[in-house]
Amino acid sequence: MDQRPGTRDLNRILMLIPSSLVPGLWSELTLLLIPSSLVPCLWSLFLLMKYILVDNGSLRAESVLNLRRVAMLLSEKEEIEVVPASLLHSSKIPADELENVAAVNLEKRLRIWLEEGEREFTIIPFFFGPTGAIVDYLPQRLSVLRKKYGDFDIRRTPFLFDQEGEEGNQQLVSILTDNIRSVIRKESLIHPKVALVDHGSPLREVTRVRDRLSTMLAEELGELVEQVAPASMERRPEAAYGFNEPLLQNLLKETEWNSNNVVIAMLFLSPGRHAGPVGDIGNICAAARSNNPGLKTFMTELVGTHPGVLKLLSCRLRDKRLPLI
């Protein structure tokens, strides 16, 4: 019996090999070009790799439990072990709120593995765009770990929205569209307005993701809705961060919006303080409704609780690995 890994596994293995070792490997090698004598070596590299699904972290248990759920389902789908870990905050949650399993943040998890001799890691960002948590904060912490433990190889998959990953981008739009259509059907809405709402960011690149998705959503939804507009939950007060506008609270005050049915399309991954049933977004909507009797708002489900997020993460696992530092 042939014990070699399947095509999907070998494609993933190829992405683990530094491109400098084999010229053109990333784009030109296919399964048929791999000598059978090389397969055991490649398979060993695959088995050594540690995969970590990483989010920013939360003080709310439901956020951690959702990250764990997604990591478990992705492990089953891809036949690899995917470990959930947050950058910050989550380790402060009492274990009895987390099914008696305490959360271990990413840096501590890496320290444990490095002390055990592990040296190969792939970060799977559970983030929509190039957040400072991954592009700035994490590389700083990795430099600290390298000073103590020596060199190790750590790369990341692309963010959930990626300029070069069109298949994954379409899957993200499909998730958002499905969530919006579900609300429209449930509430029997006719040509509602849609506000695509994210958290807000100090990085313009992250807001560009929101804006691009809003445009793609408008194209996808067509005449089903009257209008699609981007909005953010919050922003820093300085003028330099005005690219986050409109804030949701400001959008819902506008004459064209304050007496309509508005679907709040949630560009959030996990429930928590902001996106939970009684979170900040819900409070903003409630305040807007109280000030505008003709306004009705309807919140969608979250991207990270939709079953399609697994297909999106699988797309990103198939994309080229990117260096962290």
- For residue range 116-175, list pLDDT tens digits in order: 999 999 999 999 999 999 999 999 999 999 999 999 999 999 999 998 878 899 999 999
CATH topology match: 7-162+308-323 vs 169-305: yes
Q: Would you say 316 and 124 are in contact if contact means Cβ atoms under 8 Å apart?
A: yes
Gap between the Cα atoms of 196 and 215, Å rounded = 10
| CATH value of 169-305 in 3.40.50.1400, 3.40.640.10, 3.40.50.300, 3.20.20.10 | 3.40.50.1400
Q: Which long-range contacts (CB under 8 A, 24 or more apart) does 37-44 make?
A: 39/4, 39/5, 39/10, 42/10, 42/13, 42/14, 42/17, 43/4, 43/5, 43/9, 43/13
Q: Would you say 45 and 13 are in contact if contact means Cβ atoms under 8 Å apart?
A: yes
pLDDT of residue 7: 40
pLDDT of residue 13: 53
Identify the CATH class of 7-162+308-323.
alpha beta
Q: Where are the domains of the chain?
A: 7-162+308-323, 169-305
- For residue range 111-130, list pLDDT tens digits in order: 999 999 999 999 999 999 99
pLDDT of residue 135: 94
Q: pTM for the full model?
A: 0.85
Q: Is 25 or 268 the better-scoring residue by pLDDT?
A: 268
